[in-house]
Structure 1
Amino acid sequence: MARIDLWWLPRALVLGLLAFIIFGPLSNLVLWTIAEKWYFPHMLPLEYGLSFWQRVFSPRGNAMESLLTSIVIAALTVIASLALAIPAGYALSRLTLPFRGLILLAFLIPQAFPNLPVYVNIARFFYQIGLNGTIAGVVMVHVTHGLVYAVWIATAAFSAVDVDLEEAARSIGAGPFHAFRDVTLPLAAPGLMASAIFVFLESLDEFTGTYFVGAPDVTTLPLLLYTAGSGGNYQIASITALLLLVPSIGFMLIVERFLRADVLSKVGH
């Protein structure tokens, strides 16, 4: 008599539970984007339609303007973060620096404290110097968080590049800058690109800093999402959340392509 393998049952239950945890909220989100009428105790929407999509993308909906503002801020944050992270990462990977580990840990300080009291004090200071309610002020706040990803991944990317290749270029006449530009930087480019994507996504989803430093003059998609959600307009909130989710998934697929295993192995070393 054939022996029945029952191990598939717990595995199927675990996989089914994981799928429900991951895709359940996403399915609910998608349903809210097309629900015209939906209230308790009904399990599914009573009416379906796209009228809320029209409201979001209408000139008065402010979604496209907020999306453009979010993209501009995220792009400026990436430029500023990489401008600081590339020289810092190169120095941390190539030079024998005292307290190198503490320097890397210092970039984690913005993540070590509660955001709310920090941003309240930053907003007060920015108000005194005229940066509150400006894109420049919001970008500066985003950079403080983006540097965590930028510096750590840039350091790992440069550490993954063999020093002998740079020294070989210099031995045939290339100067330090040309060896860095023509040899080291292209080889570290995939890691730097992944770093830029992480910073971009962090800036795109940032709410607290933008709220205290930028609102009401600077409106991004996360602020629009918060306004719609707090007002009980779940359809518009869900559509806005979906707009934020799409680039996040796309960019994470790009990160998986460009962030190599040899770069990941150098993170923190």
Structure 2
Amino acid sequence: MIRHILPAILIGAFAFVIFGPLANLAMWAFAEQWFFPNRLPTEWGFDFWARVFRPRAGAWTSLFQSVAIAVSTVALSIALAIPAGYALARLRLPARSLIMLLFLLPQAFPSLPIFVNIARMFYGMGLNGTILGVVLVHSLPGLVYAVWIATASFAAVDRAMEEAARNLGAGPLTTFRDVTLPQAFPGLVAASIFVFLDSIDEFTGTFFVGTPDVTTLPILMFNASMGGNYQVAAITALILLIPSVGFMLVIERFLKADVLSRIGR
């Protein structure tokens, strides 16, 4: 009996840790009034949703800027990751392990001092408060996902098919375009989604490099929470949660086991 109860308790505790904050977030998003000591909102409704999406509220502008920055970050990161990943997967580069480690360094240190120093450098270059500056600072962590997954994707490509294409007269570029790239494409899609999600949720880099001229959804959520507008902050958080959940389901489909097994090799 205890053998069955203990796993059930552990699963219930695990579910509470994950879904408890999400349930609280959902309640705040639809709460019209919720004051202490009430454990549940006393009034429910959609009034705050209407306020968030009013033209003057800035939510639409923040949403469009967030998506535009994330898409630009994906384009830049993947454009750099494809040649880098191919070279790291196929060529006998000296100090290959060191190069792979260098792409992890941005994640090895606290992000706050890194972004503060980047903001200082960008200020001298005139990139502070610009979309380009925010895209560049978002690409720093984005390249970690892009390069590592791209390297694993190209390493998982069947070289026999490439050799067959070369034997049939295809040149190196044609073989890469028609044989190598289609096989690596699912991994590159997964890398793009990781970069997109990381960019659209990025707050610290945007705060130090983009504000006050560039306002993304995380910045809007932060301003709302600091001002005590918890309903607005909760609604913004739910909007950010939707692409995260949807894209993670897509990643599960595209990121295959053979690619995962080669990450870091």
TM-score by length of 1: 0.97
1:181 aligns with 177
- 1:104-143 equivalences in 2 (<5 Å): 104-143=100-139
**Letter aligned with residue 144 of structure 2:** V
1:252 aligns with 248
2:67 aligns with 71
Displacement, 1:6? Answer: 3.5
How many corresponding residue pairs?
265
1:16 aligns with 12
| Counterparts of 1:161 and 1:124, CA distance in 2 | 42
Displacement, 1:116? Answer: 1.7
Q: Deviations over 1:54-97 (max 9, x none)?
A: 00000111111101000000000000000000000001111111
1:7 aligns with 3
2:49 aligns with 53
- 1:153-172 equivalences in 2 (<5 Å): 153-172=149-168
From 135, 144, 150, the equivalent of 1:148 is 144
Q: Deviations over 1:120-174 (max 9, x none)?
A: 2211221221111000000000111100000000000000112221121111111
| Counterparts of 2:89 and 2:7, CA distance in 1 | 44
From 188, 197, 200, the equivalent of 1:201 is 197
- 1:90-109 equivalences in 2 (<5 Å): 90-109=86-105
Matched, 1:40 2:33: no
| Counterparts of 1:14 and 1:122, CA distance in 2 | 43
2:83 aligns with 87
1:31 aligns with 27
Displacement, 1:226? Answer: 0.4
Structure 2 unaligned residues grouped into runs of 5+: none
| Counterparts of 2:125 and 2:10, CA distance in 1 | 55
| Counterparts of 1:120 and 1:29, CA distance in 2 | 30
- RMSD (Å), alpha carbons: 0.8
Displacement, 1:192? Answer: 0.3
**Letter aligned with residue 77 of structure 1:** T
| Counterparts of 1:149 and 1:71, CA distance in 2 | 18
Give the secondary-structure state (helix, strand or coil) at the position aligned to 2:188: helix
| Counterparts of 1:9 and 1:114, CA distance in 2 | 41
2:229 aligns with 233
| Counterparts of 1:101 and 1:185, CA distance in 2 | 24
| Counterparts of 2:119 and 2:102, CA distance in 1 | 22
2:210 aligns with 214
Give the secondary-structure state (helix, strand or coil) at the position aligned to 1:43: coil
